[in-house]
């Protein structure tokens, strides 16, 4: 075009340039679309698994620890639904009319019991150096995805808000994971240990049957969640710390439970290794999951962009003007359930029921319930 050209030849080249520009714009649009599709596919790839994780489905999980023994009642055992009805502690029928199935009202001492469980758990975990948080309960769907959960699809457990890019959280792990999104932390800030209270919302798609009745599986519940951000070499030791905190809490409440090293088929996408705790629920006649503790390595932090800069400088600058700053690394993230309130209420009502229909309040919770020691049937 810079050479002397005939007008016709120059016009031909101008037209060719326009076509190239239009073609490039189309290719760039296609590239953006394909990049988004590739990212969605890549987000379906789960984390690696710890070499000691049992291979197989849930039945292949191995027992790490068993604490306590089932109580010998000596009288016919009631489940939490019957106890709750007789003690006037919750109302599923009214909630079904107001909100739909798998919702509930807590009443009377059950309300105090929920508050006591939350406050006692928070106070105990804070003694271990955890910072307390309450969290937003609506988050952007992109944050849900970056934490390793799928906000869309037929089997999603996530409630999405129509006409927005927001979702209701299924666990405080999601908003706590996002609190340092796209940040570069100083190594001296690590570990960051949070204990968060939130309400949680789950569709419980596909969940039905007698095994999930009552408070065991519901759409909305309160939960206290622990979350740790740490250096990579420390994540396995913090995983052990988290499961010990859980076990100490449940032992303090006098529960009989088993801790499992969960098999590969039951890990979920973000978890490198997961320990579950199942407590004995005598009224339901089985063990039920009450908590889990997961080490996610850098699976979530890579997606969320959470890095830290090591304190030790590099031996020599890699590039002129870069100084001697050490290159950043991704943190490791871990999460663990300190108290999922409805299932704890199931455990306490069923394990502490008495022959006369009353329920004893475990010692650690009494100070958080105004000194109340016993839930007794209401006089008619």
Task: Tell me whether residue 137 is annotated as binding.
Answer: no
Binding residue per annotation — 45? Answer: no
What sections of 158-263 are H helices per DSSP?
173-178, 235-252
The verdict on whether residue 221 carries a ligand-binding annotation is yes
- Has 256 been labeled as part of a binding site? no
Residues with catalytic roles = 202, 217, 289, 292, 343
Whether the CB-CB separation of 234 and 332 falls below 8 Å is answered with: yes
Q: Tokens 């890699």 appear where?
A: 318
d(CA 313, CA 58): 45
47 is in an annotated binding site: no
From residue 79, how far is each of 46, 89, 282 by CA, in Å?
Answer: 38, 13, 7
Query: Cα(113)–Cα(365) distance, rounded to whole angstroms?
Result: 8
Cβ atoms within 10 Å of 320's Cβ, excluding its own:
6
Question: Is 234 annotated as contributing to ligand binding?
Answer: no
329 annotated as belonging to a binding site for a ligand:
no
Q: Containing H/E element for 299?
A: helix 299-304
Asked whether residue 155 is marked as a ligand-binding residue, the answer is: no
Beta strands in 78-191, from DSSP E residues, in sequence order: 90-91, 105-106, 131-134, 138-140, 166-168, 184-186
Question: Under a CB-based contact definition with an 8 Å cutoff, are residues 106 and 94 in contact?
Answer: no
291 marked among binding-site residues: yes
15 is in an annotated binding site: no
CA distance 143 to 173: 11
- Binding-site entries: 171, 202-204, 218-221, 225, 289-292, 335
- Binding-site entries for ATP: 202-204, 218-221, 289-292
- Binding-site entries for L-serine: 171, 202, 225, 335
């Amino acid at each position: 075009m810079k050479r002397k050209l005939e007008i016709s030849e120059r016009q031909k080249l101008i037209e060719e340039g326009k076509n190239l520009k239009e073609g490039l714009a189309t290719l760039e649009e296609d590239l953006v679309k394909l990049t988004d599709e590739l990212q969605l596919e890549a987000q379906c790839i789960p984390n690696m698994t710890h070499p000691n994780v049992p291979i197989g489905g849930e039945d292949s999980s191995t027992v790490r620890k068993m604490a306590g023994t089932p109580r010998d009642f000596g009288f016919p055992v009631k489940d939490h639904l019957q106890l709750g009805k007789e003690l006037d502690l919750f109302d599923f029928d009214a909630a079904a009319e107001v909100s739909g199935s798998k919702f509930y009202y807590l009443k009377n001492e059950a309300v105090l019991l929920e508050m006591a469980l939350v406050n006692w758990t928070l106070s105990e975990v804070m003694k271990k150096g955890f910072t307390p948080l309450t969290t937003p309960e609506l988050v952007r769907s992109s944050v849900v995805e970056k934490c390793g959960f799928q906000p869309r699809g037929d089997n999603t457990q996530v409630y999405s808000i129509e006409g927005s890019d927001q979702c209701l959280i299924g666990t405080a792990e999601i908003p706590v994971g996002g609190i340092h999104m796209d940040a570069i932390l100083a190594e001296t800030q690590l570990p960051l240990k949070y204990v968060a209270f939130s309400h949680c919302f789950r569709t419980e798609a596909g969940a039905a049957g007698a095994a999930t009745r009552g408070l065991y599986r519901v759409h909305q519940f309160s939960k206290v969640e622990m979350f740790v951000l740490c250096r990579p070499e420390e994540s396995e030791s913090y995983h052990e710390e988290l499961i010990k905190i859980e076990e100490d809490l449940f032992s303090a409440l006098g529960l009989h439970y088993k801790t499992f090293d969960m098999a590969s088929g039951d890990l979920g996408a973000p978890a490198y290794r997961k320990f579950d705790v199942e407590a004995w629920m005598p009224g339901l006649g089985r063990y039920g999951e009450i908590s889990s503790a997961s080490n996610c390595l850098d699976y979530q932090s890579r997606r969320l962009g959470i890095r830290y800069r090591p304190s030790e400088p590099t031996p020599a600058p890699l590039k002129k003007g870069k100084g001697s700053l050490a290159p950043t690394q991704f943190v490791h993230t871990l999460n663990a359930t300190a108290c999922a309130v409805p299932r704890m209420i199931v455990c306490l009502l069923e394990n502490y029921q008495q022959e006369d229909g009353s329920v004893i309040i475990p010692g650690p919770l009494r100070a958080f319930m105004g000194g109340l020691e016993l839930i007794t049937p209401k006089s008619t």
